[in-house]
Structure 1
Amino acid sequence: MNTKYIDLINQTYYFPTEEFELKDDQLQFHGIDLMALVEQYGAPLKFTYLPKISDNINRAKGWFDSAFAKADYKAKYHYCYCTKSSHFKHVLDEALSNDIHIETSSAFDINIVNKLKAEGKIKNDTFVICNGFKREQYIENIAALINSGQNCVPIIDNYEELTLLTDATSKRFNAGIRIASEEEPKFEFYTSRLGIGYKNILNFYKTQIATNDQVDLKMLHFFINTGIRDNAYYWNELHKCLKVYISLKKICPTLDSLNIGGGFPIKNSLVFDFDYEYMIDEIVSQIKQVCDEAKVDVPHIFTEFGSFTVGESGGAIYKVLYQKQQNDREKWNMINSSFITTLPDSWAINKRFIMLSLNRWKEEYERVLLGGLTCDSDDYYNSEQNINAIYLPKYHKDKPLYIGFFNTGAYQESIGGYGGIQHCLIPAPKHILIDRDENGAIKTSVFKEQQTSEHMLDILGY
């Protein structure tokens, strides 16, 4: 009878995968011995595997290069990283080493840009796409970038922003317009709060940009909340966007770029199935077809990938401290941290991550629930939104069990308030960086030690 954890994984998923394999009964992630990390650094532990950032960037570049060649698409592709997914310097340094561009969301983002420019990581010809609702400080910082000679393209989000920008700088600059896309029927509202409505963009261009000698319309920006998906809703919104692009292009010769935003999904399960190459081929071919039929030049394509860039580089490791048998059916494995502190997406929006045991794969498994250390009833994790249990090797007091959550690299630290006050004052765990040297050997370093009580008490004013 197949009762061991390794049997469960083998009969449920295709295993091993490109990321995961088993060696000496212990889980390996991209060839990294995770139990060796635990022995060296302890648990709970957060880690960032930097090479995965470059790997995903170059995969996407390759897919677009291939799609352009197949479609005979005569324009350029520009990969942008959304800084809001993870603002950490080690992430930006790794991403920018791959000749990419960036997209910002708020005023302080521009301070990061200035730091990276001073270090030579961002050049003047690097595109800085400025999204978001802009007010005084963000406008001032964007204007300063434009004045410095930076290739900065503010994306107009509302009717007042263009005037605010032209008042803040006397230089001529390129701008974009964000389309306020219509949301899926299941949403609580019909139209995104971001951008300007489809029907109003042409008039906005004619009245505010065409008559303004200081501004050139460079880009039309399209993004939908659900991201890039192969469904009727996505293709319908893309074609509505292309209609607007065609109408603008015919009266605006400076318009030459289409930003299709981001939203590429990342692996949240070992049964994840998304055909990236097919989607990119189809997007590129449909853009070309529509432009050819309208007899206008195809646009340069920009993408803004955040989670896709950094998400699959992150992971979290916990130790199971204790098992509580609450009734005849429910066993709670208590971890030595808090999901609210370390994986806020898991309880805030029911986001799922890949979860696997690090050790004891050849022992029997059991059905359990995972609970965090806080006294909050929401501090737990399910394998799926509608299934209230997961499976792990059986708990034994004398046999420590370690579990890992993978592809957690996007948003968790920002949403959780990295280094700030955590729920029930459960500290943020130690965070390490994992890289490879020129020979491919793994090297690790501590980015931040586990948060201390002194640090939290200082924030609280004690």
Structure 2
Amino acid sequence: MKIKYYDLIQQTFDFPQPEFKVNDGNLLFHDIPLMDLIEKFGTPFKFNYLPKISENILQTKEWFKKSFKENDYKGDYKYCYCTKSSHFSFVVEEALKNNISLETSFSNDIEIIKKLYEKGSVDKNIEVICNGFKTEEYLKNIAEMINGGFSNIIPVLDNFKELERLSDSIDSNFNVGIRIASEEEPKFEFYTSRLGIGYKDIIPYYAQRIQNHPFARLKMLHFFINTGIKDTSYYWNELYKCLRVYARLKKIAPEVDSLNIGGGFPVKTSLSFDYDYYYMINEITYQIKKFCEGEGVEEPTIYTEFGSFTVGESGGVVYKILSQKRQNDREKWNMIDSSFMTTLPDSWAISRRFVMLPINRWEDSYERVFLGGLTCDSDDYYNSEQHVNAIYLPIFNEEKPLYIGFFNTGAYQDSISGFGGVHHCLVPGPKHILIDKDKDGKLNYKVFREEQSHKEILDLLGY
């Protein structure tokens, strides 16, 4: 009879998988012996496996290169990393090793660019796409960078006033983009994105404000939809509307040479995850080329802004099961040594799924459980009602500690929960570990930040 946890996974999924395998009853993630980390650092802890960031960037570039060749696409491809997905220096600097551009969304992002320049991580040729609604401080920072010789800063206009304010501050020629206010899916509570300029207004705005502007040059049309890049009629319909605007612009503005199709590549959320990245890239390339040929315009340089896809699959968080509470004859609650609300806020805020697996005891029998966090909030849990599949883990045993990991958590979680701040019920921020490889392929570990102490928390609260 197959009653081991390993048997359950093998019967349910195609396992092992490229990033997950089991050795002597313990889980390896990208060949990282997680039990060794637990013994060395204790729990809870977060980690980032930095080589995965470069791997995803390089793989995407290869997909586009292959697609361009297959479709005889004449334009170029530019990979941008969205800093808002994770602002950590170790993430941005790892991404920058791969000849990419950056995308910003707030004034403090520009301060990061300045710091990177001071450190010698970038030079003044770094390409930065400045997105978002721009405050006066954001506009001021953009203008200062352009005036300071950063010639590849491209502010993407979110509304009609931003160009006027930039023009008042910039004393040289500069490039701009225009963001399209795309229509949202019918299930949304609103019809049109709050970001960008409406489809019908873009051509008149260009003709009236940009075409004869003494300094500004329109380089880019920016397209982004909230649900991401998916093979749905909604996505293709919005892309075609964007292409119609691009073709009309190109005919009156030959200087427009770039189409930014935004971000939205999904991150693996379960062992049954199935998404054909190359198919989507190839189909997008084909559709853009076909449309441009039909309109008699030159194919644009394609920009993508991948944030979660760049950094998400590098991250993970590891917990210990402290105890099990049996609340009735059906529900068993495994209590973790941290909080989902403070370490994985998307799990309760938007019912986001992550890959969850035990780290050890894969040779033991299993049971169905619910997972509970340490806060006193009723929403601090992870279970089958929020998520598609029931949770099964090796049977709880007081004498045999059980550890679990949530994987592909590297995007947004620290930004949303607040890194190093005061968290719900004063649950401390966990230790944060960086995992990298040296030139010989040997793993090395570095503690980026220790677990938050009670003194740090009380200091923040004024005690």
For normalisation by structure 1, the TM-score amounts to 0.99
Residue matched to 1:62 = 62
**Alignment map for 1:369-384 (pairs within 5 Å):** 369-383=370-384
Shift of 1:384: 6.2
2:114 alignment counterpart: 114
| DSSP-derived class of the 2:200 partner | helix
CA deviations on 1:48-99 (whole Å, 9 max, x unpaired) are 0000000000010000001111111111110000000000000011000111
Shift, 1:386, TM fit: 5.0
Distance in structure 1 (CA, Å) of the matches to 2:121 and 2:75: 25
Q: Which whole-Å CA distance do the structure 2 matches of 1:322 and 1:401 have between them?
A: 10
The 5-angstrom pairing of residues 268-287 of structure 1 reads 268-287=269-288
Offset, 1:120: 2.3
The residue aligned with 1:11 is 11
Mark the CA change 1:378 to 1:141 in structure 2 (over 3 Å): closer, same or farther: same
Write the mapping of 1:120-199 to structure 2, written as runs, cut at 5 A: 120-150=120-150, 151-199=152-200
**1:262-301 deviations in whole A, cap 9, x for unaligned?**
0000100000000000100000011001101111110001
Q: Is the 8 A contact 1:353 1:408 kept in 2?
A: yes
Deviation, 1:387, is 5.3
Post-superposition shift, 1:225? 0.3
CA distance in 2 between counterparts of 1:384 and 1:230 reads 27
How many Å separate the matches in 1 of 2:211 and 2:182?
23
8 Å contact kept, 2:332–2:370: yes
What is residue 366 of structure 1 aligned with on the other side?
A: 367
Structure 1 SS opposite 2:252: coil
Could you list the per-position Cα deviations for residues 124-147 of structure 1 after superposition, in whole angstroms to 9, with x for gaps in the alignment? Answer: 222100000001100000001111
- The answer for the alignment partner of 2:322 in structure 1 is 321
- Measured in 2, the distance between the counterparts of 1:257 and 1:229 equals 21
Question: 1:255 aligns to what?
Answer: 256
Whole-Å Cα distance in 1 between the matches of residues 125 and 12 of structure 2? 49
Corresponding position of 2:304 = 303
> Which amino acid in structure 1 is aligned with residue 131 of structure 2?
N
Identity %: 63
How is 1:334-353 mapped onto 2 (pairs within 5 angstroms)?
334-353=335-354
**Corresponding residue for 1:100?**
100
The CA distance in 2 between the partners of 1:206 and 1:391, in whole Å, is 61
Hey, what does 1:52 align to over in structure 2? 52
SS in 2 for 1:233: helix
- Provide the rounded CA distance (Å) in 1 between the counterparts of 2:255 and 2:274: 39
Give the 5 Å matches for 1:219-230: 219-230=220-231
Distance 1:41 1:234 in 2: 45
User: How many angstroms apart in 2 are the aligned matches of 1:281 and 1:382?
Assistant: 37
Structure 1 distance, partners of 2:297, 2:359, is 55
Contact residue 374 and residue 423 of structure 1 kept, 8 A: yes
Contact 1:262 1:306 in 2 (8 A): yes
- Distance in 2 between the 1:82 and 1:69 partners? 27
Tell me, which stretches of 5 or more residues in structure 2 are unaligned? none
8 Å CA contact 2:434–2:446 kept in 1: the answer is: yes
Counterpart residue type for residue 335 of structure 2: M
How many Å separate the matches in 2 of 1:123 and 1:79?
Answer: 17
The whole-number CA distance in structure 2 between the counterparts of 1:145 and 1:77 is 24
Structure-2 separation of matches of 1:88 and 1:348: 22
Q: Give the distance between the partners of 1:197 and 1:269, measured in 2 at CA.
A: 37
Report what 1:412 is aligned to.
413
Following TM superposition, by how much is the alpha carbon of 1:155 offset from its aligned partner in structure 2, in angstroms?
0.2
* Residue deviations 1:139-177 (CA, integer Å, cap 9, x gap): 000001111221100000011111011112122100000
Moved more, 205-214 or 43-52: 205-214
Partner residue of 1:451?
452
* Offset, 1:385: 2.7
- 2:401 match: secondary structure: coil
Mapped contact 2:428–2:451 kept (Cα < 8 A): yes
Q: 2: distance between equivalents of 1:178 and 1:386?
A: 34
Aligned counterpart, 1:425: 426
| 8 Å contact kept, 1:352–1:384 | no
Q: Is the Cα–Cα contact under 8 Å of residues 319 and 338 in structure 2 kept in the other structure?
A: yes
Q: CA deviation at 1:389?
A: 4.0
SS in 2 for 1:282: helix
Displacement after TM superposition at 1:123 (Å): 2.3
**CA–CA distance in 1 between the matches of 2:384 and 2:15?**
18
1:405 aligned counterpart, secondary structure: strand
Cα distance in 2 between the residues matched to 1:315 and 1:244: 41
> C-alpha offsets along residues 224-280 of structure 1, whole Å, 9 cap, x if unaligned?
000000010000000000000000000001100000000000100000000000100
Q: Secondary structure at the match of 1:428?
A: coil
1: CA distance between counterparts of 2:111 and 2:126? 15
Q: Is the 8 Å Cα contact of residues 46 and 318 (structure 2) preserved in structure 1?
A: yes
Q: Contact between 1:155 and 1:175, CA under 8 Å: does it hold in 2?
A: yes
Inter-partner Cα distance in structure 2 for 1:409 and 1:148: 33
Q: CA RMSD in A?
A: 0.9
Contact 1:56/1:308, CA 8 A, preserved across alignment: yes
CA contact (8 A) 1:352 1:383 kept: no
For the residues of structure 2 that align with 1:389 and 1:292, how far apart are their CA atoms? 50
Report the counterpart of residue 437 of structure 2 in structure 1.
436
Deviating beyond 3 angstroms after TM superposition, the runs of 4 or more aligned structure 1 residues are 386-389
Q: How does 1:5-44 map to 2 (within 5 A)?
A: 5-44=5-44
Partner of 2:270, secondary structure, is: coil
SS at match of 2:292: helix
Amino acid corresponding to residue 369 of structure 1 in structure 2: F
Distance between the aligned counterparts of 2:141 and 2:62, measured in 1? Answer: 34
Looking at structure 2, the residues matched to 402 and 362 of structure 1 have their Cα atoms a distance apart, in angstroms, of 14
Spell out, residue by residue over 1:356-398, the C-alpha distance to the aligned partner (whole angstroms, 9 max, x if none).
0000011110000000000000000125635584100000001
Residue in 2 aligned with 1:246? 247
Distance 2:288 2:148 in 1: 34
The answer as to whether partners of 1:369 and 1:388 remain within 8 angstroms in 2 is no
Distance in 2 separating the partners of 1:141 and 1:402? 46
Looking at structure 1, the residues matched to 274 and 174 of structure 2 have their Cα atoms a distance apart, in angstroms, of 42
Contact 1:26 1:359 in 2 (8 A): yes
Q: Deviations over 1:198-242 (max 9, x none)?
A: 011001111111121110000000000000000100000000000
In structure 1, distance between residues paired with 2:291 and 2:389 = 47
